[in-house]
Chain A
Amino acid sequence: MEGFEGCPGSKMMTFKGQKDRNTEQAVGKVLSQLSQWPIQMHLISPSAPYYQNADVLLTADCVAYALGGFHRDYLENRSIAIACPKLDSGQEIYLEKIKAWFDEARINTLTVLIMQVPCCTGLLNLAQQAAQAASRKVPIKYIVVGVQGEILQEEWAAA
């Protein structure tokens, strides 16, 4: 939207007709890879059995909508929690829950999936703060997703 100023996370855009025709299209019914409930960060218990020794995804709310292959490429064989670092309140509880994943659930890895908008880095910061506070170290990967579903960055965070 021309002349728009303000938060990039709220900037209006349209992608209609801009899709890559060569990209593989899913055919038929796509199987959900979700293997647990609940998933919202306020509702989950970090001590739930599906987090024990798991490879956990901490995903910003918008990611699963932007990333076309989210279930197949990221959710399969993973446990998940979702959150919005811009809009959610009470995020100090998130910090404690992530720390409990590290120390109590003894998760194997944590992958933080965020959108490219600046406010989304808050979720990665939260994970790194929890990692600093935890007594047990776990590798953290972060993946930055573009608003059209492209992977902009995929890195292991410094321990």
Chain B
Amino acid sequence: MDENSDILKVMHEDHTHARGLVKAMLDALERRDQKTIAENLMAYRDLLTEHIRKEDEILYPWMDNQLSTRQVGELFAKFAEAEQQMGFSPDKYKHLIDQLEIKFEKRRIEDGRI
């Protein structure tokens, strides 16, 4: 697989852009700058939505054509190992999102916005 291919370059650039947005949010958080936090959060949401679409519709089908079954298995094992080392827990993040949704939905109702 050519690491300099256009598809991989675009995907890498998205990651760099995303890290920039997160850094801007953290800086704004230090300053208690709500407007900048909100702007960067919205930009992050849009970037992530588009990035996932690119993964699903372009990157993964392309990789499926590029990689042998053997390579897919090896890649899968490396991801599993990395996730284990990082203590990756999808359930933990799902729980966090569920809690945030409940919290903001409640606030929206209290504010009479629905």
Q: Which residues of A contact B (CB under 8 A)?
A: 55, 77, 107-109, 111, 136-139, 141, 156
Contacts and interface: CB of A to CB of B under 8 A. Distances in A.
B85 to A, nearest CB: 16
A139 B73 contact: yes
B72 interface: yes
B44 to A, nearest CB: 26
Q: Which of B69, B76, B77, B80 has the most CB of A within 10 A?
A: B69
Nearest to A137: B80
B72 to A, nearest CB: 6
Interface in B45-87: 64, 69-70, 72-74, 76-77, 80
Which label, helix, strand, loop or mixed, suits the secondary structure of the A interface? Answer: loop
B70 A109 contact: yes
A136 B81 CA distance: 11
Interface of B: 64, 69-70, 72-74, 76-77, 80
A8 to B, nearest CB: 29
Contacts of A108: 70, 73-74, 77
Contacts of A109: 69-70, 72-73, 76
B69 A55 contact: yes
B62 to A, nearest CB: 14
Nearest to A155: B64
A139 B77 CA distance: 9
B76 A141 contact: no
Contacts of B76: 109, 137-139
B72, B73, B74, B80: residue with the most chain A Cβ atoms closer than 10 Å: B73
Contact of A138 (B64, B70, B73): B73
A77 B80 contact: no
27 contacts: A55-B69, A55-B70, A55-B73, A77-B70, A107-B73, A108-B70, A108-B73, A108-B74, A108-B77, A109-B69, A109-B70, A109-B72, A109-B73, A109-B76, A111-B69, A136-B80, A137-B76, A137-B80, A138-B73, A138-B76, A139-B72, A139-B73, A139-B76, A141-B69, A141-B72, A156-B64, A156-B72
Closest 7 CB pairs of A and B: A108-B73, A109-B73, A139-B76, A109-B69, A55-B69, A55-B70, A139-B72
